[in-house]
Chains A and B, each alone.
Chain A
Amino acid sequence: MDATTSVHPAPGDGDSTPTGSIAALRRLTPYLRPVRGRLIGSGAAVLGSMVCGLMIPLVIQRVLDGPVATRDTGPLPWLLLAVAVLGTAEALLFYLRRRLVARASTRVEAELRADLYHHLQRLPISFHDRWQSGQLLSRAVSDLSTIRQFIAFAGIFLVVNSITLVLGLLVLFWLSPMLGLITLVFAAPLVMISSRYESGYQVLARRSQDQVGDLTTTVEESVLGIRVLKAFGRGPQLTARFLKQANDLRNTELAKYRLQAKLWAAILLLPELGIAAQLLFGTFQVVDGTMTVGTLVAGVTVASYLSWPTDSIGWLLAESNQAATASARYWEVRDARITVTDPESPRPLPVDGKGEVRFHDVRFRHSGSGREVLRGVDLTVRPGETVALVGPTGSGKTTLTALVPRLADVTGGKVTVDGMDVRDLRLADLRTVVAMAFEDPVLFSASVRENVALGSPGVTDEDVRVALRIAQAEDFVDRLPWGLDTRIGEEGLSLSGGQRQRLALARAVVGKPQVLVLDDPLSALDVHTEAEVEHALRSVLSGVTALVVAHRPSTVQLADRVALLDGGRITAVGTHSDLLATNPDYRDLLSTMDESADEESVA
């Protein structure tokens, strides 16, 4: 019942074929480059500790064969010192291996996350509408931690163990081509099995990661929608959905493990059979006299020494595949195009700009939807003028307002501010000039001050207070336990609907923008407060160009003119009373005739 269908990105992005995933892994190279010294150092430390580990028994052998056997303790101190030194070196290399990779891998993870966050914040709203936030979150958290772990452990061992394996094989061939050949023959199926396993495993790894994303989405919705769930007592239903998803995830994980179990069994078995075969053939050769017992023993020893690198292949492959699909998922988001960008050669806004906003034959179609919401909107908001935008539910008012600060780009026609196409301006410039209040006021977990100023530099406490005053919010803010410093939002104090809306309004007016776009800014206010806000707004709006979406006649009265949006076009523009008198659609939409009738019957 859920969103996996909408989650998948545009075609061409979601290339999750094995080669695609490996390529995705390879694309991490630029992030690895700054830390490659540490990574190589860490790999070298692994090799070094292996060498120490190998040398210690050799020295012990020397002790046993030398001083002990000959009862001559002369060289003993030196040999003991050698063991101690090698032992200490091994320990230090152990430390070094982890220590080097600690900063490196966590740094890569942090940078990947910072860049993802950077990218996400610039992706257009249409992207965010389509992607479940759980999918984004699981990429930013669990996928990146998979990648970190890969870099810290599996990646290094993949390299080191491959080197060990190749060296071991070379030694075997050098000892006896026959023994080498036998080992190879038994290793060859491993390669085949592993590569078959790889594609199957990648599909499962990918599925499991996607399912983690869906699960995260459900968790997020279960918390953000808790009021609705409680109001209807639907917690159990959502829990059932969660459990189903958790169960799906479990099944995928189990399938992964089953595949792994098969592979691991093969990985354990084949080399052992190889050793058995070596023993067998070796013995024949020894009997033939073509091989010495010593060579056979050495061969078998080398082959069993190779058992850890071989055994680890299963684990390493799993980790690498997981990391590969995790980075494929990561790049899917990073590859999403930022469509709303600064122009190549941005033009400055005229210094004496007054903030005229014009819509020229504006057309808009939501991405992925066949229908145009706006079909040629022509409207001019003169400098300093306030225009109310009215229209039936779903007529495209919000869509239209979002075009001014370029939260979306028109699909036809153009929007100009002071005669300049908004697409020719730098986004930062445009969004300084234009401020917005949205239908649903979003607060951040931060102080009231931060929520109003939103971190824009140069906003003083006095500015914040003026803005709060305009929004009739100063009184209640002063009554909060720590005034402007009170943390609100999810991590802080909850506010009433009207209080939130007034803060969002204060946020819009605080920067003294030239153009104000207000989307139904007073819907949650009572009549009195609305009147007061309107009164205060009027003084602000006198010099500001404003486009105000309205449903209520009272809000419409803020405006100098009213534009009626219907059927994707502006069908009428005029003053409220003119339109009431002349335009039947408008009358239908805003007249309160019925209500007066109602009221008469009550009175």
Chain B
Amino acid sequence: MTTTAPNGTADDDFAWRGVATEDTEEVTHAIGVKLHARSRALLATLVRPVAGRTALAFLLVVLENVAQLSGPLLIAAAIDTGIPNAIAGDTTVLAWCVGGYAFCGLASAVVWNVFLRLSSRIGQALLIDLRQRIFEHAQRLPLSFHESYTSGKVISRLTSDVDALDDLLEVGIDDLLTAVLSLVGISVLMLWLDLPLALLVLAGLVPLVLVTRWFYLRSNLAYRSTSGAIAKIIVQFVESMNGIRAVQAFRREGRNESIMNGLNVRYRDANADALTVMARFTMNVRLVGNLTLALVLAIGTWRVVDGGLELGVLTAFLLYLRRFYDPLDDIAQFTNAYSSAIASLEKISGLLQEKPEVAEPEKPTPLPKNPGQRGRSITFEHAEFRYSPTAPVVLPAFDLTVPAGQTVALVGPTGAGKSTLAKLVARFYDPTSGTVRLDGIDLREVSDVDLRAAAVMVTQENFLFSGSVADNIALGKPDATRAEIEAAARAVGGHEFITALPEGYDTDVRKRGGRLSAGQRQVIAFARAFLADPAVLVLDEATSSLDVPTERVVQKALESVLADRTALIIAHRLSTVLIADRVLVVDDGRIVEDGSPGALISADGRFNALHTAWRDSLV
């Protein structure tokens, strides 16, 4: 992702957004060409697996066309020969024609039915493939990606952008193919009928190609901006719905509406633009077609009058010419959908190209099996960390060893870097330099499955998924039995309130756990970690919203669990800190004190000061 100079300040309408470094939105021509190539490549990889079936579908279209085309011929035969014969008393030709016509109708209906089923399966296979790729890729991408990309954009990649491809599939390759088939067929027929006139017609294709090129570029531009605009709408929408309490309490509705209106108008205009471009394109295609027709008519007539051309040839030629231009509308339709899909695929391929920087190792090193020991040691070696290359260093290089089984508490002022340090252990990020090791093995060498089984973090922002309470706890261990889930809930003091819910463990917690109180959500997040039962447990202010008695229960549970586990606990309540074997005081990214709680209290340092302040607050 290219970072550029700060933008946004110049534009007064968008001053509220503030300044940030972000990727450029305007795409230069050179980049545009590259983007096209990229989206075409993506499209190709999507089509490859269904190539065989697509070929079959093409065959069906050809068949259907044959059936369709024979219809008029049969009618002509019926009228020219069948009826006169029938009047003369011989109905065989008529019978054949009528029967043949009915048969063709039937055949084309059946073929069409089969084709539709086949092509819908191909289309859906393509879509599901694309959805899966985006989703899985987004899941693999590191936290740092998600922190700058925004949920709204990922959502729009997976919804509105995929829809554009869906639209392309719906417009139908069949229309395109039918169009191309008839174009080629009619061209051949015309060339065969009369070369000069045919060349004239084909010369008319030159402006058409130019117009199509123009259209493709213009509409791609338009669709690029619709796709960008709808993404912004989604971002704004998601954000206001998620912050609806603050929106209402602080009367931000009006402000939000004017923001949304701005975005909405942009989207509307971009869309209207795209449609208008399409309007001009179809007009030009028709115009070129009709004027060529007039020209052919003029020259043809003149040549017939001159005696250089048969009347019948001219008649046939004109009839075919008329049908020559009809498919062009379908081609326009297809080009339109294609251009929209390509614009969306540009964005999608951009997401797919993001490298999972915190990637899984190719050849992971297994973590050592330590029978009889349930914790694992954590080592930081010259680990340094900053959130982005341009951001200041949050954690200057440091060394730290936490032996297996130790419970370490991290304390320090807000913004000191405690969560950051903890997140390095859970490998949310990789250190900018230096290494973090688990039982001596660099985290970058450990497979994701091993790592997540060994180390689990309860983050400061706990998140409940929609679904039942039990589902949410089971996130810690997907194959857990109900008994295990209940045991975990019981251990952290959640069983009582959970059973008091209308459907107990099966109660839907609703969006983000809105059915529960903040403390209850935290208890569930805790139960999750408890159920996961990892060798290394990282708790980032996991008890901040609990009342004292509940906290006590949790603490008891912790003490028994943590006895032989390695634990990293971040807490502002010193009551929690005091259960630790060792305390690290972090300030401004540095570990400034390190020792047992008792020792640090007796020493005359920051922890002592914190402790005194806390004691004073206790009355």
Contacts and interface: CB of A to CB of B under 8 A. Distances in A.
A312 to B, nearest CB: 13
Interface string B459-472: 11111011110010
B143 to A, nearest CB: 6
Interface in B237-293: 237-257, 260-261, 264-265, 267-269, 271-272, 275-276, 278-280, 282-284, 286-287, 289-291, 293
Contacts of B143: 226-227, 230
B452 A491 contact: no
B350 interface: no
A222 B260 contact: no
Nearest to B260: A117
A323 B476 CA distance: 42
Interface in A214-236: 215-217, 219-236
B478 interface: yes
Interface string A313-339: 000000000000000000000000000
Give the dominant DSSP class at A's interface: helix
A589 interface: yes
A551 B234 contact: no
In the complex, which of the residues B520, B549, B610 has the most CB atoms of chain A within 10 Å of its own CB atom?
B549
Nearest to B124: A250
Interface stretch (B34-42, B199-207, B372-380, B410-418): B410-418
Interface in B406-464: 411-415, 419, 426, 428, 448-449, 451-453, 456-463
B573 A552 contact: yes
B235 A272 contact: no
Interface string A189-225: 0000000000000000000000010011101111111
Given A121-B248, A589-B547, A603 B234 contact: no
Interface stretch (A15-23, A139-147, A160-168, A348-356): A139-147
A450 B18 contact: yes
A237 B294 CA distance: 65
| Interface size, A (range) | 35 or more
30 contacts: A98-B282, A106-B271, A113-B264, A117-B257, A125-B248, A129-B511, A129-B514, A132-B466, A216-B159, A231-B428, A232-B475, A243-B128, A247-B128, A250-B127, A254-B124, A276-B102, A276-B105, A297-B79, A440-B461, A485-B19, A490-B152, A498-B414, A523-B544, A525-B414, A527-B614, A528-B609, A589-B549, A603-B598, A603-B601, A603-B602
B318 A232 contact: no
Contacts of B518: 398, 439-440, 520
Given A224-B463, A300-B79, 20 more contacts: A56-B290, A57-B322, A103-B272, A152-B275, A220-B151, A220-B155, A223-B138, A227-B463, A228-B462, A228-B525, A239-B132, A264-B113, A300-B75, A394-B516, A438-B249, A439-B518, A446-B17, A552-B573, A557-B617, A594-B552
A531 interface: yes
A439 B511 CA distance: 16
Given A73-B305, A91-B286, A589-B547, A102 B276 contact: yes
Contacts of A1: 467-468, 471
B147 interface: yes
B267 A110 contact: yes
Nearest 3 pairs of A and B residues by beta carbon: A87-B290, A233-B452, A498-B414
Contact of A137 (B155, B272, B283): B155
A228 B508 contact: no
Contacts of A159: none
A268 B98 contact: no
Contacts of A140: 233, 237
Nearest to A256: B120
A432 B248 CA distance: 11
A90 B290 CA distance: 9
Contacts of B257: 114, 117-118, 121
Nearest to B513: A129
Given A106-B272, A370-B502, A602-B578, A446 B322 contact: no
Given A113-B264, A283-B86, A90 B318 contact: no
Contacts of B592: none
B121 interface: yes
| A68, A130, A264 interface centre (most CB from chain B within 10 Å) | A68
